[in-house]
Chain A
Amino acid sequence: MANIFPRYTNFLPLKIAVCIGALAIGVVLAVTYYATPKAQRVGYMPDQPIPYDHELHVNQLGLDCRHCHSFVEKSGHANIPSANTCANCHHKTKGNIKSDSPRLAPLMDAIDNDKPVQWVRVTKAPDYVYFNHSAHLNRGVSCIECHGEVNKMRVVFHAKPLSMGQCIDCHRAPEDALRPLEEVFNLEYDVRKFIEKNPSAKSSIQEFIAGSAETEDLDLSKEDDAQKAMGLMLKERWNVRPKESCFTCHR
């Protein structure tokens, strides 16, 4: 009986297998990269009705985060300021700063014509995540840990992935993020500078790291080590024990 399949088909199954294998690996790699929050969310920078400039207001004018996001220490939500907050400086009947700027037209519309400003949401936790701002800020986690350096953003954008991995990493090792409560809203905070400036903090930390074999090798002149030393000390003193069970965020 003649051969039905020509000779070149001998390797066909192998070729097909290799191709499918390569394709599968490609799909897996693509999904792991593109379908993660890191690729999907970071860099999201929607147009806002008013091109509000955080850099200008925070860095140049020195406004505190809580001037506008006023209930962030009290509530789970970080509130977007109501129009009257902006109007205090900008409306012609109040501070009258740039009140005739066309960029501020939506604000004036809100105050004068009862049409609220429709800001576009940048950061969003999924509906099944119950994130609470006050719980974090009151325990020494700064805005910057999740939102990035907002004080340097001319247009606000999604700076960090805010994936579950990011949450879990920090809940496992809160020492990487903890800072003194006074410095939570200081977006320029640098742990080494802080230690240098506050002799009492320095002595405290030195005493603390000397107290245990695990921490005695920490070098306070290195940023990572200094943060770790500070974080570990605060964690112990304030009894910071972030939970890792599901119900912490999901319920």
Chain B
Amino acid sequence: MSKRKWNHPEVPAEDLGNKVWRSAGELEDTPGLRQWVDREFPRASEQMRDEEDQETTRRSFLKLMGASTALAGFGLAACRRPEALIVPYINSVEWSIPGKPSYYATAMPSANGALSLVATYHEGRPTKLEPNKLAGTAGVGSMAQASILDLYDPARSRNFLAKGEKITKAAAIEKLEKFTKSGKIGFVFGEDDSLTRTELITQLRAKYTNAKFYGYEALAGAGRRASAAQIFGKHAVVKADFSKAKRILSLDSDFLDLDKQGDTKGFYDRRRPEGADYNEDPIKYAKELNRLYSVEPTYTVTGGMADHRAPLAPSQIAAFIQDLAAEISGGAASGKFDADKTAWIKACAADLKTGGGVVLLGSRYDKELHDAVYAINSKIGAYQTGVLVARTEKKHAQLGSIEDFAKDAGSLDTVILATPANPVYENPSLGGKDFNEIVKSKNVVQWGIHVNASANAADLHIPAAHYLESWSDGFSGDEGRYTLVQPLILPLYGGIQEFELLTGLLGDKIELHNSLSDDKAVSPAYTAVKTTFEKKVKVSSDAFANKTNFKDLVRTGFTADYKYATAGNGSGVAAALTVVAAPTSPAKPDVVFVTDYSVYDGRYINNSWLQEAPDPMSKLTWDNAAYMSPQTAKDLGLYEDLVELEKLEKAWWANLGIATETGVKTTPVPQDGGGPSLFGPMVKVSVGGKSVDAVVIVAFGMADNVISLPLGYGQGYDEHWAEEFRGGAIDYDKDSSKNVSSVGVNTGFDAYPLRNGQDYFAANTEVTVEKIEDKRYKLARTQEHHSMYGRALAREISTLPAVKTGGHTQDYAKQLDNVAKQGLDSHVPQNISLYKFEDRDGKKHLWDQSHQWAMSIDLSTCTGCSACLVACQAENNIPVVGKTQVAMGREMHWIRMDRYFAEPGHADHADDLKLGEAPSNPSQDWNTPLEVIPNPVACVQCESAPCETVCPVNATVHTEDGLNSMAYNRCIGTRYCANNCPYKARRFNFFDYNKRNPLLHKNLYKGPLGEKQVGDSKSLQRNPNVTVRMRGVMEKCTYCVQRLQSAKIDAKANVKKAVQKSGKPSYEFNADGKQDMNKMLMAPANSVKVACQDACEAGAIVFGNILNPDDDIQKTKKIKEENLEANIQGTYANPRTYDLLNYIGTRPRTSYMARVKNPNPAMKSATKVGRATIHMH
């Protein structure tokens, strides 16, 4: 079963010192890992899981066989196909063409600003969310992509509940009447800025004079807002305009993903070495590139993009800011940093002053730090040059904070929680009290889409409508343009919209409009939004008055004529910062509570796409973990447990005294088919007397003596899974099972109990960490799955004028030229293919004259955020497989987001390691950069594809337009193709993941007796143009072939259009043969966008037709007519473009563009940056 090994060429001498790895196991080259990656399919894939499964399956198999034999006699009925019905509309729906999707503008509200979207709509079902390019949305991140699954979640709330018990609507309204009678109501809303809500709050204030209003979301970051409010005035938000930013210092701000501080398009535009549109000369353009410094405790997606990155404990950020301020505007340094680090800060500060500089501080930091950063930004001119712009939100109704709420609670009778957050779960310690305790004697009304802890605790839970079922409005995240949220579907489960609840409370008699049962009546939410538009927005300017009406707004989804006002440059004085000592002991580390890349603050706990999407950095699915640096893990005595090295054990002959060699090497190889990192060791983290047990993951690039705990997990419990994950290790509240659906049970641990109030950190003085012996917890991490061997997989160069690599000195131009020759691609002779691409007359086999598709992926802008992966899942009906299956390496994602760590110049220390001794780890030294380089790999559509030749049934064959297609109905599941794929891009359906719910314990192994999920509401999300694959079928990326086919079919109508235009009979068309028919039948340039490309905020994925000279793909691949042939063979006019594993001669259609780093020459580490070319062996 071992796969055939390709003898990859030697690594060039100068790259040998460049240590690269994906996981701790790989870094130490453990035997367990070697065994794991050598196997094509993990061991357990070949067998039943345990005896019980075998029994069930055999028994059920016999039962079924018996039954089907008996039925065979009556089987003739099956010869005729079953009668199927076609049920057309009664009245045709305007704009609806059965079989063709329509597109509607809407937006996803969020605390960071509304995200303008275009929803794809198939016969009444929204199926996919795309960016609204008209509104300037560049891409749709993974959470927004996955929000469509939330809409169809079968576990969504559909009933009114009182303390978890179902009640009728009439009873609910009665309760609401009773609760609101006194008028002492506390309303808690989300943090998004909605004009209509603001209007309704004004009205509510008038009616309920004793009411109070609050805004709350768990991780919205109060410090930044408070600082901005003081400096720029009430409701001010500061956004960065990255198109003007040339030097960016991110202080623990993940501004590219979870902590957005403005539209990121400008950032990526300045990240492309050939300019925003790939049409500049890279050498001349180098001075326009931005430079990103990142100082952060944990590796974030933003940190991965940094040119210079420094790991720093969160408590030291204040000291860093003080030193930076000292450099920039004078003052005393903190004295907390040694000479090397001070030099780093000096060089960084000097660079920030060169123009276009900006410092961005993470939202989670306190107001004082933000004030200090404001002073720095003012000094370096960030506000004056417009890199940072303060704008005023439209919230004219003041909302209090959750702390205010805790204080005011005594004066309230009723609490109405209309926030997307989950306050009961998130606030075990609000001002020292549990949230439940605060609202104990109050009437709690909770409105939400999930039956979570807050819903179950509430006296009245009102099922909410999803944002795709609601009328609402908001303001975009960049300039604050007025944006409309339009419903795409009637509430599936009869949920109540937020504004329906608010308007309901405004009436003389409380009413709750239900759009599902009252579908003939206009929703009051619609009326409210429309009124706001007519009364507030439309009258705001003359430009509006006659030009735009509500219909226009509904069509485009936004208006540029009504937006946030700018708030000037502000003024403020930074107070002196309190500087504390750095944590020195691993047992008393700094704790940082971080937002999770999958569940956000916990609201996406029931979203299986997000749960299964690997964390961009740790590649962990379905769980959270306590992350710590390798050194910290080592100091805690955990590293050996994490990375099972070859151990020296006492041999049986040791006591006989006859041999001198008394030790034997043992190789611990995991037996249950999982990778070597399957079971993680546990630690007990205590903060201020409260503790949680957490599983540990070693996170490279973290600051020492820091533990980061992602929030939002551990919301629900299920005993079956607990046993399987050995989750005895994690303490769950056994009563919490009702708070989540089958998706969210037993995922991770809950870190909220450690959090004091809304704190994001716990100082080392109140923290203790100790190892828990003999307890382990099962983790499903994808980082070592589908490992690709090879040289120069991800390539990196730097803009430095002269870099010494090995013996050579290369400048930027030379490095650019050598991109395609990295990894010995220059030394390996051109592969001669046994395939012939032309017949004897030189005519190409299988060659479409109009379309030849290709893709290019720019590693300079790819952050590894995994939005493409979720978008692909949404577009291509990719199933979720569940944690157990992921642990076996069976995840189905067509895009594998490889994430490599690299430490240029790091000695290959595995060899000089003594037995049983843990090796040294990447250091905390800021001048020895640890780099991250992501590399998204899907099927690269080889011209001479190894998979095609081995398929015994021709299920995977080449197409005329250059795809490597899959005829799923033909596949018999031999898996030869996956064996033969050097890119490991193929995924196999080991089970019928679509039909049988993989999230129920052992359900997959029950065969036909298992619970089915066919026809549940999730299937409404399916793309009707993509086959839903069944068990035993191989699948992979085919460049969204459904979109390509549809574009080609649309182009076929061009002849007809031309005929109609000419007015001549159709048979006379092109009688002289002078029409360029290839051009005529070609899809228009850039008309086809594949799902991953559409989702990518960075625009890192470019897709197009290489035969179309106007297509964007020409810019990235630089294909000209004369070198078309050369291009197909992997040499490109754009020097930065290279083919993955070029030397094996597969001639892939997807090419990559090397990452260009732009280091600061004044930094000591400059020459080490930009050398993270990845060779895996």
* Contact, CB under 8 Å: A246 / B965: yes
Whether, in the assembled complex, B84 has its beta carbon less than 8 Å from a beta carbon of chain A, the answer is yes
Q: Kindly identify, within residues 1060 to 1096 of chain B, every residue whose CB is under 8 Å from any CB belonging to chain A.
A: 1065-1071, 1073, 1077-1078, 1080-1081
Given A130-B1025, A135-B1052, A119 and B98 contact (CB-CB distance below 8 Å)? no
Whether, in the assembled complex, B439 has its beta carbon less than 8 Å from a beta carbon of chain A, the answer is no
* Contact, CB under 8 Å: B81 / A124: yes
* Contact, CB under 8 Å: A117 / B87: yes
* Contact, CB under 8 Å: A40 / B79: yes
Residue of B100, B960, B969, B1077 touching A245 (CB-CB under 8 A): B960
Select the stretch in A71-79, A147-155, A220-228 that faces chain B.
Answer: A71-79
* Contact, CB under 8 Å: A110 / B99: no
Nearest-CB distance from B91 to chain A (Å)?
A: 5
* Contact, CB under 8 Å: B97 / A135: no
- What CA separation (Å) do A33 and B1041 show in the bound complex? 35
> B959 to chain A: which residues have CB within 8 Å?
243, 245-247
Interface of A: prevailing SS: loop
* Contact, CB under 8 Å: B92 / A84: yes
Number of B residues near A (Cβ < 8 Å) is 57
Nearest-CB distance from B587 to chain A (Å)?
A: 57
> A117 to chain B: which residues have CB within 8 Å?
87-88
Q: Kindly identify, within residues 28 to 46 of chain A, every residue whose CB is under 8 Å from any CB belonging to chain B.
A: 40-41, 44, 46
- What CA separation (Å) do A236 and B958 show in the bound complex? 25
* Contact, CB under 8 Å: B87 / A204: no
Interface 0/1 of B1029-1043, CB less than 8 Å to A: 000000000100110
* Contact, CB under 8 Å: A128 / B1038: no
Q: Kindly identify, within residues 119 to 137 of chain A, every residue whose CB is under 8 Å from any CB belonging to chain B.
A: 119-121, 124, 126-128, 130, 132, 134-135
* Contact, CB under 8 Å: B99 / A76: yes
* Contact, CB under 8 Å: B92 / A82: yes
Interface 0/1 of B958-975, CB less than 8 Å to A: 111001011111100000
Interface of B: prevailing SS: loop
Whether, in the assembled complex, A140 has its beta carbon less than 8 Å from a beta carbon of chain B, the answer is yes
Number of A residues near B (Cβ < 8 Å) is 57
- What CA separation (Å) do A64 and B957 show in the bound complex? 40
> A173 to chain B: which residues have CB within 8 Å?
none
> A201 to chain B: which residues have CB within 8 Å?
1065, 1067
- What CA separation (Å) do A81 and B89 show in the bound complex? 8
- Nearest B residue to A75 via CB reads B99
- What CA separation (Å) do A77 and B122 show in the bound complex? 13
Interface 0/1 of B1009-1041, CB less than 8 Å to A: 000000000000000011100000000001001
Residue of B83, B87, B1065 touching A198 (CB-CB under 8 A): B1065
* Contact, CB under 8 Å: A245 / B1067: no
* Contact, CB under 8 Å: B98 / A71: yes
Nearest-CB distance from B834 to chain A (Å)?
A: 21
* Contact, CB under 8 Å: B960 / A243: yes
* Contact, CB under 8 Å: B90 / A119: no
* Contact, CB under 8 Å: A71 / B1027: no
Nearest-CB distance from A45 to chain B (Å)?
A: 12
- What CA separation (Å) do A81 and B967 show in the bound complex? 32
- What CA separation (Å) do A246 and B954 show in the bound complex? 9
Interface 0/1 of A87-110, CB less than 8 Å to B: 000000000000000000000001
Whether, in the assembled complex, B85 has its beta carbon less than 8 Å from a beta carbon of chain A, the answer is yes
- Nearest B residue to A129 via CB reads B969
* Contact, CB under 8 Å: A204 / B1071: yes
Q: Kindly identify, within residues 68 to 102 of chain B, every residue whose CB is under 8 Å from any CB belonging to chain A.
A: 79-81, 83-92, 97-100
* Contact, CB under 8 Å: B967 / A120: no
* Contact, CB under 8 Å: B1038 / A247: yes
Nearest-CB distance from A228 to chain B (Å)?
A: 14
User: Looking at B79, B1049, B1069, B1070, which has the most chain A CB atoms within 10 Å of its CB?
Assistant: B1049
Interface of B toward A, CB cutoff 8 Å: 79-81, 83-92, 97-100, 846, 848, 954-955, 957-960, 963, 965-970, 1025-1027, 1038, 1041-1042, 1045, 1049, 1052-1053, 1055-1056, 1059, 1065-1071, 1073, 1077-1078, 1080-1081
Sorted nearest first, the 10 A-B pairs with minimum C-beta distance are A77-B99, A247-B965, A239-B1077, A75-B99, A128-B969, A181-B1066, A246-B967, A82-B89, A250-B967, A121-B84
Interface of A toward B, CB cutoff 8 Å: 40-41, 44, 46, 71, 73-77, 79-85, 110-111, 114, 116-121, 124, 126-128, 130, 132, 134-135, 138-140, 180-182, 198, 200-201, 204, 230, 233-234, 236-239, 243, 245-247, 250-251
Listed by A's residue number, 21 A-B pairs whose Cβ atoms lie within 8 Å are A46-B83, A76-B1049, A77-B98, A79-B97, A82-B91, A116-B90, A118-B87, A130-B1042, A135-B1052, A138-B1052, A182-B1066, A201-B1065, A204-B1067, A236-B1073, A238-B1066, A238-B1069, A245-B958, A246-B970, A251-B965, A251-B967, A251-B1045
Given A238-B1070, A245-B846, A246-B967, 10 more pairs with CB closer than 8 A: A118-B87, A124-B81, A130-B1045, A132-B1045, A139-B1056, A201-B1065, A233-B1067, A234-B1067, A237-B1071, A246-B959
